[in-house]
Structure 1
Amino acid sequence: MKPDEFWKNFRLGEELAISGNFIYDGLRRFHEMKRLDYDEEIFDFLYHVSVGLERLTKIAIVLCEHKATTDQEALEKSLITHSLNDLVARLKTSAPINLGTNHNELISILTTFYNSLRYDRFSLASSFSGGKERKAIVGWLEKSLNITLCHGNALFGIDNPEQCRKFVRRTILKITRQIYEVIQKEARGLNIYTYELRHASKAESVFLREIDIVNEDILWKELLVFFMNTRSTSGYLGFLRKIEPLDFDPALADEYLACFASDSAKAMVMDELEHHYSELEDGARARLETMTIINAPNVCFDDED
């Protein structure tokens, strides 16, 4: 295999997985946001999506533009840009990318964010002009969905309703799907396998399953109900049932369940977990060792043992 074929087949294939990881994390981050008040959460969402889409678009550009006669150095230099706007426009000259106003406006927000807003807080001029990312996303959502989100409520803040979550997912996945289809088409034309994805990876969830975090949340809820109610027996289930539960407060069940769906929710309960472990005294280390066995690789529970 020639160096350029190896590059496009394997190295860009790795890039495809990386871009899928970023897009997945961005979609999950937005899904987990209860409100749209926290600039650091908006930043996290925008950062992951902008990086993911930028890298994805660059893969498609290389597959479309690179030929045996291409000036390799010039091509590589031309990819040193963070303007998603320009990259998508460039790809459109080689491939049938058909995006609507909402998609293009999001691409512009991502471009502005990555080129300027992500470092805006390091500037003294930002002292009294914060919340730019939040204002951009909230304004885009309100305009695109023709809704008015609640602003300025000190008690409840700006809600992130399911309508917004679904719209963001749908918009990002349409952009993603069109670019991925270009990668598939070009790679097949070159008889290479850049588009192939590792099974059960985040990238596969994005590009092939078109991830819906709501469905993934249904999974953990169903598994939770199974573990609570199954009467089946196995070595693993027997091991779990022998562990004495900590004295969590049943009245806070809703907060505990949120830990399965959100990293920020876990942070809210960690202090209580640390308190319970401090009460164990000498038994804390033994319990930690027991907990590490659960879901540990290469640990087998023999039903007869």
Structure 2
Amino acid sequence: MTDIFTDPVLHYKNFKMGTEIEIAGTFIYNGMKELEQIDLFDIESEMFMLLYNLAVGIERLQKVVIVLSENIEDITIFEDSLKSHNHQNLHNRILRNGIAIRLSTRENAFLQLLSIFYDKHRYGRFHVSTELKAEKLELSSYIRQSFKGNYEEDFFSGSIRNNEELKDFFGRVIGSISKKYYLEIDRLARMQSIYTYEVRYGSKAEKVFLQEFRKNSLQEQNINEKIAAKELIVYLMKTKDKNPFIRYINDIEPLDFDIAMANDYLEQVIAGTISQDLVSTVEYEYLENDYSVERVRQMDVIGNSNVHFDFAQIYRCNGLLKSFLKNEVECYTFANVFLEEVSYLDDDYGNSILKEMSVLCRNFLKQYENGVDTSKQLKAQFLEIYEEFKEFYFLHDIQHEE
């Protein structure tokens, strides 16, 4: 009995095509991001990237369906037969294999649009005789023929303005085509007891193929991501929560941005781009304030999951402990400041020793407020458990002074 490890064709269908699913999903996801950033269907580079990403992603999906649906006897002949970039022809080949993937009129028209782009316009500008703004003409024609909603045309250029209704329209067309091919890949793979349909959790492919959206609109993914980003921004601005990361940000002196531009900058950032105007503003502020590489390093750790801000907070606690045990800080001040420092640590980052220290500080403060000074007792208790604290957090410091 053959399996995916010993049979070269099954190995090809399972592992290599599984990778192709991830690649296809990534191209389609990137294409939807390009769509999100288009304001006017007029700039050729933007429309090229939109069509290129979608054309490559959907073509690769089609070819995976073909690989899984055909009986491969002569590998060389089969591989040569895949050397096509005509999306409509690839779909017709799938239908001839008995795969009943039904596309709507506008979905078929979109495959035709991708075929024309990939065949004629992908390298069209390298030919003297080709028409300018070919992508604009093709996309505009498709929108006017297939889109039944409302859109505006720019007064000066006559180009179609992108809007949320158009984004949703493209999201439904692209999402529906992608989902139909993926579901067929899933069915064919399960029939052959292989796992081509599996995609990595959290990957772009998982967002495209496994998420459920209204009318399969991939634009819902863009909307969800933008809302999530906005919610995070609101949280960071308004939170009263304490942790070392929030403290780190709050300790940084902000640049002098123009508040009137904040919403414009955020619109672009959330759409997936950083405007050159924002970059230039930051560069100007760095020059004005003589910021060095140290400021860049300070910024660089923000959003870096490899940086553990909690451990930096542990070092702050340790520094305070050393000062206390060296008699550099009196007990009342130490107890209050230590509790404040510990409050920035997540519960799951502490240990029983740290919690015990917090209890000792609270007990001391309670007695102090009742007129009972237990400073010597508190110092003795901390001397007793400090070495265990250092050992737990791998802190190798000089010995405290008696």
- Place the TM-score, normalised by the shorter chain, in its bin: over 0.9
Residue in structure 2 matched with residue 294 of structure 1 by the alignment: 302
What's the CA shift string for 1:150-181, capped at 9, x where partnerless? Answer: 44522895310111100000001111111001
Q: After the TM superposition, which of the residue ranges 39-48 and 148-157 deviates more from structure 2?
A: 148-157
Residue in structure 2 matched with residue 71 of structure 1 by the alignment: 74
- 184, 202, 205: which is aligned to 1:203? 205
Gaps of 5+ in 1: none
Residue in structure 2 matched with residue 275 of structure 1 by the alignment: 284
- Is 1:253 aligned to 2:297, yes or no? no
Cα-Cα RMSD? 1.7
Check conservation: 2:41, 2:160, Cα contact below 8 A.
yes
- Is 1:221 aligned to 2:230, yes or no? yes
Residue identity opposite 1:96 in structure 2:
A
- Distance in 2, matches of 1:297 and 1:225, equals 20
Residue identity opposite 1:124 in structure 2:
V
**Please, what TM-score do these two structures have when normalized by structure 1?**
0.93
Residue in structure 2 matched with residue 84 of structure 1 by the alignment: 87
Structure 2 residue matching 1:166: 3-state secondary structure: helix
Residue identity opposite 1:199 in structure 2:
Y
* Counterparts in 2 of 1:157 and 1:264: CA distance versus 1, 3 Å: farther
The alpha-carbon deviation at position 144 of structure 1 amounts to 1.4
- Distance in 2, matches of 1:187 and 1:62, equals 10
The alpha-carbon deviation at position 265 of structure 1 amounts to 4.7
* Counterparts in 2 of 1:227 and 1:155: CA distance versus 1, 3 Å: farther
- Is 1:29 aligned to 2:14, yes or no? no
The alpha-carbon deviation at position 259 of structure 1 amounts to 3.1
Residue in structure 2 matched with residue 108 of structure 1 by the alignment: 112
The alpha-carbon deviation at position 115 of structure 1 amounts to 0.8
**Please, what TM-score do these two structures have when normalized by structure 2?**
0.72
- Distance in 1, matches of 2:177 and 2:199, equals 18
Check conservation: 1:150, 1:159, Cα contact below 8 A.
yes
- Distance in 1, matches of 2:265 and 2:293, equals 23
What fraction of aligned residue pairs are identical, expressed as a percent? 34
What's the CA shift string for 1:88-146, capped at 9, x where partnerless? Answer: 111112211100110011100100100111111111113xx311211211221122123
What's the CA shift string for 1:56-98, capped at 9, x where partnerless? Answer: 110110000034xx22111100001111111011111221110
Check conservation: 1:142, 1:149, Cα contact below 8 A.
no
- Distance in 2, matches of 1:216 and 1:161, equals 17
The alpha-carbon deviation at position 271 of structure 1 amounts to 1.3
* Counterparts in 2 of 1:111 and 1:40: CA distance versus 1, 3 Å: same
Residue identity opposite 2:111 in structure 1:
I
What's the CA shift string for 1:191-215, capped at 9, x where partnerless? Answer: 1111001000000000011542011
- 145, 169, 188: which is aligned to 1:186? 188
Residue identity opposite 1:118 in structure 2:
R
Structure 2 residue matching 1:233: 3-state secondary structure: coil
Larger Rg over CA atoms: 2
* Counterparts in 2 of 1:218 and 1:263: CA distance versus 1, 3 Å: closer
Q: After the TM superposition, which of the residue ranges 81-90 and 143-152 deviates more from structure 2?
A: 143-152
Gaps of 5+ in 2: 213-217, 317-402
Q: Runs ≥4 in structure 1, deviation > 4 angstroms?
A: none
The alpha-carbon deviation at position 260 of structure 1 amounts to 2.0
Structure 1 residue matching 2:270: 3-state secondary structure: coil
- What are the residue-to-residue correspondences of 1:118-129 with 2, within 5 Å? 118-126=122-130, 129=131
Residue in structure 1 matched with residue 19 of structure 2 by the alignment: 14
Residue in structure 1 matched with residue 134 of structure 2 by the alignment: 132
Structure 2 residue matching 1:259: 3-state secondary structure: helix
Residue in structure 1 matched with residue 65 of structure 2 by the alignment: 60
- Distance in 2, matches of 1:152 and 1:247, equals 35
* Counterparts in 2 of 1:232 and 1:147: CA distance versus 1, 3 Å: closer
Residue identity opposite 1:131 in structure 2:
K
Q: After the TM superposition, which of the residue ranges 29-38 and 101-110 deviates more from structure 2?
A: 29-38
